[in-house]
Amino acid sequence: MQKISFREALNQALKEEMARDAAVFLMGEEVGEYNGAYKVSEGLLDQFGPKRVIDTPITELSFAGVGIGAAMNGLRPVIEMMTFNFCILALDQIFNGAAKMRLMSGGQYTVPIVFRGPNGAAHMLSAQHSTATENWFVNVPGLKVVSPSTPNDAKGLLKASIRDDDPVIFLESELMYNMVGEVSDEADYVLPLGKCHIKRAGTDVTIISYSKGIHHALGAAEALAKDGISAEVVDLRTLRPLDMDTIAKSVRKTHRVVTVEEGTPMAGMGAELAYRIQHALFDQLDAPVTRVTSLDVPMPYAENLEELVQPSPRDVVAACNAVLYRS
């Protein structure tokens, strides 16, 4: 195993896939000369040249559309969004183009494209740069949605996403780019899409999350362990399609569920999970599924208010105590 940062893991994945397949190219704002807004694409321009690492104007709608057209004609574009908050401008291309093209062409076209970049809040970037956008994308048939929580998962899942023949939304957390963790040094390390990962085994309560929320869940599990509570932490990794088999196995073991997400509560991932679990596993539950989300407000700029709005390990502990009837 190697110890590298989240951004370095993504960089390795891009470098390996571009070396492996000449059809893979990277396009987006500042990905070339500037080495990426968050340095994920550092060194790629020097290695692969300007025909495969392409700087674009600040026009998300246009370069998303160019990428979709390229994917329909045999290439495998990776489109970097400087932040998924700016992806709003490209949603028509993604929702009505990439997601629906296989169906609308009767299977004549596939769209093997990855849209990747930072999602959710970072630190004091205010409302227009801090939206957790995953709820938008999981609502669209034809898209796959991936949101890794560790450098190891980031590398393996990005490689799998680039190789997938369907459009993939790959959501990264800006706050995790500097996170250092162990990453496989296998020659070709790929993780399957659509599979959960048990980040911590437990018997008393299941905490389900993804991306940054996993670290809140693990922090809560550590705190609960001091009180003799054994929490199992399930990392979704892929939000669409959902691995309900792994989730169901955990629920049958613990009989209590807490979901954690950075997004706001209305029509969120936790709401979908709660419905699916209570619909399919109602008799296995000893308490209602409880959600931990951000508050239902635009993200404030002030540091203390930004912290107040977002979920924390303390919130997750409180939710776990509630489903355990300890509060």
pLDDT by 10s per residue, the chain, length 327: 999 999 999 999 999 999 999 999 999 999 999 999 999 999 999 999 999 999 999 999 999 999 999 999 999 999 999 999 999 999 999 999 999 999 999 999 999 999 999 999 989 988 899 999 999 999 999 999 999 999 999 999 999 999 999 999 999 999 999 999 999 999 999 999 999 999 999 999 999 999 999 999 999 999 999 999 999 999 999 999 999 999 999 999 999 999 999 999 999 999 999 999 999 999 999 999 999 999 999 999 999 999 999 999 999 999 999 999 997
In this structure, the answer to whether residues 88 and 173 fall within a common structural domain is yes
Domain that holds residue 206: 197-323
Residues 178 and 220 in one domain: no
Q: Are residues 6 and 48 in the same domain?
A: yes
Query: Going by C-beta distance under 8 Å and a sequence separation of 6 or more, which residues neighbour residue 196?
Result: 234, 235, 236, 237, 238, 243, 246, 247
Q: Is residue 189, in this structure, part of any structural domain at all? A: no
pTM: 0.96
Q: Specify the number of domains making up the chain.
A: 2
- Single-letter amino acid code for the residue at 299: M
Residue that terminates a domain, selected from 157, 183, 209: 183
For Cα atoms 17, 174, 315, give the angle at the middle one, nearest 5 degrees. 125
Token pair belonging to 163: 């190789």
Q: Of 134, 153, 183, which residue sits at a domain end?
A: 183
CA distance 147 to 136: 14
The first and second tokens of residue 252, run together, are: 């049958």
> Do 213 and 97 sit in the same domain of this protein?
no
Q: What's 274's domain CATH number? A: 3.40.50.920
Tell whether 192 is covered by a domain.
no
Please report whether residue 287 resides in a domain: yes
Q: Does residue 191 sit within a domain? A: no
Cβ 147 vs Cβ 235: under 8 Å: no
Q: Please name which of 158, 166, 149 lies closest in space to residue 189, comparing C-alpha atoms.
A: 158
Same-domain status, 15 and 152: yes
Task: Tell me: do 224 and 125 sit in the same domain.
Answer: no
Which is it for strands 76-80 and 53-55: parallel, antiparallel or unpaired? unpaired
Residue length, the chain?
Answer: 327
268 plus 159 within the same structural domain? no
Q: Looking at the annotation, which residues are catalytic?
A: 60, 129
